[in-house]
């Protein structure tokens, strides 16, 4: 980001946007918005002793460290997972432009494209949503490219397992390898009148992901409930028991820890709810400050609206990975666009991904303060979240749709757009 853009947006947050001729706003503007604020929740449900999430995680860690792991839970780490054998293997192939929906005049130049392993590529039970990379986390030029992707257990389906995140290693050549991790909320349960540390599924749409330092921020949107952010600590990954006969077991069950058929769980360390209901937390992204800037890195949250432009708010980040404050530093609403699924800002420019459903091409748009949004490229249907990666100067995005997903059961009529792709800007 650059200082002039920050100055412009601070002004928008502090004062009303000046009206044009006749007192009306021009069609393509950034309107000042009320700055949203968050309130933190850290208490783990179920405990009479008011234990925090961190207290329950400490109890789980103690059991994971017990000799011979009698509890069926052990410590895991991102480095250890990446150093081990692949759980799944992605498929490298060209970005799919559906038949009957021809490529646009302007298509993105691509650095990387892959699709998921067949069962993930075609499943109707899960939809990929959010994306972030280890550039967001570390900055600089990490040698290894690691991408995290969130999946929503689609509410229209019978299987409602919660929310999962895929850890994807993208090599310089060859197919990416990946592993699924379930997001969980620490809780305390009772077994024979004794409290036990446990966890339960986190059920979120997870439309956006932001990885900063060791923390993973997940956008939390519910239609009829408080919106906000969930926060997870990648220093507290666990491996748990799974296998035949335990397909429905979750959390602490008779002395052993499970997560149905998932080998890894990542527990929540905090939950932030919108204090006044000012913002829909649909997506979230990291913006790293320009080299030499006095500004802090920041968290950019944007709100999806089907027929209007996104509301955007920004929270500054602390060096330890947490929020520098609970009140957003800036807030604005962009008009002249609609159905924005992802938003990220770098070097004074916002990049927006806009979807038009499962049968029409999506768009990547740009916006700078003072001008209208402009379409940069078209994409296959269903572009989702965005993440900027300075390595190669690319935008990462992904598609959500697959066979039988909203558009019928005839494979010839279905747009398979469940790819992950990095677009050069």
Report the pLDDT value the prediction gives residue 353, as an integer from 0 to 100: 97
Report the pLDDT value the prediction gives residue 104, as an integer from 0 to 100: 63
Report the pLDDT value the prediction gives residue 50, as an integer from 0 to 100: 87
Residue 260 CA: distances (Å) to CA of 166, 269, 352: 16, 22, 36
Tens digit of pLDDT for each residue in 235-259? Answer: 999 999 998 888 889 999 999 999 9
pTM of the model: 0.90
User: How many other CB atoms are there within 10 angstroms of residue 370's CB atom?
Assistant: 9
Q: With H, G, I as helix, E, B as strand and everything else as coil, classify residue 122.
A: helix
User: How many other CB atoms are there within 10 angstroms of residue 298's CB atom?
Assistant: 26
Exposed, middle or buried by CB within 10 Å (0-12, 13-18, 19+), for 27?
Answer: exposed
Q: What residues have CB less than 8 Å from 339, skipping those under 6 apart?
A: 304, 305, 306, 307, 354, 355, 356
Q: Where are the alpha helices (DSSP H) in 66-183?
A: 78-83, 118-122, 134-138
Spans of the chain, pLDDT less than 50: 1-29, 32, 158, 407
Report the pLDDT value the prediction gives residue 401, as an integer from 0 to 100: 87
**Dihedral (Cα; 319, 79, 175, 92), 10-degree rounding:** -30
Report the pLDDT value the prediction gives residue 412, as an integer from 0 to 100: 53
Tens digit of pLDDT for each residue in 41-84? Answer: 999 999 888 899 999 999 999 999 998 889 999 999 999 999 99
Report the pLDDT value the prediction gives residue 178, as an integer from 0 to 100: 98
Report the pLDDT value the prediction gives residue 414, as an integer from 0 to 100: 57
Report the pLDDT value the prediction gives residue 247, as an integer from 0 to 100: 87
Report the pLDDT value the prediction gives residue 10, as an integer from 0 to 100: 38
Residue 265 CA to residue 57 CA, distance in Å, equals: 12
């Amino acid at each position: 980001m650059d200082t002039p853009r920050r100055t412009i947006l601070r002004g928008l947050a502090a004062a009303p946007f000046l009206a044009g001729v006749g007192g009306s706003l021009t069609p393509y503007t950034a309107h000042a918005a009320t700055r949203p604020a968050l309130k933190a929740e850290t208490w783990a449900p179920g405990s009479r002793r008011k234990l925090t999430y961190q207290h329950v995680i400490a109890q789980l860690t103690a059991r994971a460290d017990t000799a011979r792991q009698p509890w069926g839970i052990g410590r895991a780490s991102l480095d250890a997972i990446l150093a081990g054998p692949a759980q799944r293997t992605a498929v490298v192939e060209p970005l799919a432009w559906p038949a009957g929906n021809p490529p646009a005049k302007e298509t993105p130049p691509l650095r990387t494209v892959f699709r998921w392993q067949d069962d993930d590529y075609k499943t109707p039970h899960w939809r990929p949503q959010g994306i972030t990379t280890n550039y967001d986390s570390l900055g600089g030029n990490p040698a290894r490219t690691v991408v995290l992707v969130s999946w929503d257990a689609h509410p229209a389906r019978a299987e409602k397992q919660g929310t999962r995140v895929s850890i994807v290693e993208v090599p310089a050549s060859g197919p990416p390898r990946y592993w699924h991790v379930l997001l969980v909320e620490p809780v305390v349960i009772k077994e024979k009148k004794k409290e036990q540390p446990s966890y339960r599924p986190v059920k979120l749409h997870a439309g956006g992901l932001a990885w900063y330092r060791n923390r993973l921020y997940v956008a939390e949107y519910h239609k009829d409930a408080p919106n906000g952010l969930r926060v997870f600590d990648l220093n507290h990954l666990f491996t748990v028991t799974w296998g035949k006969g335990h397909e429905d077991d979750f959390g602490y069950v008779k002395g052993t820890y499970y997560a149905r058929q998932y080998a890894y769980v990542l527990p929540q360390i905090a939950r932030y709810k919108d204090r006044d209901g000012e913002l829909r937390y649909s997506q979230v992204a990291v913006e790293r400050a320009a080299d030499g800037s006095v500004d802090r890195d920041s968290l950019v949250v944007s709100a999806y609206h089907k027929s209007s432009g996104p509301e955007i708010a920004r929270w500054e980040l602390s060096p330890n990975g947490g929020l520098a404050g609970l009140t957003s530093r800036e807030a604005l609403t962009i008009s002249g666009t609609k159905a924005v699924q992802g938003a990220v800002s770098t070097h004074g420019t916002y990049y927006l991904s806009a979807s038009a459903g499962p049968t029409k091409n999506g768009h990547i748009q740009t916006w700078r303060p003072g001008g209208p949004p402009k379409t940069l490229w078209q994409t296959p249907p269903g572009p989702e979240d965005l993440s900027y990666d300075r390595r190669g100067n690319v935008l990462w995005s992904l598609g959500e749709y697959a066979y039988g997903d909203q558009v019928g059961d005839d494979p010839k009529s279905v747009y398979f757009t469940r790819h992950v792709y990095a677009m050069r800007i």
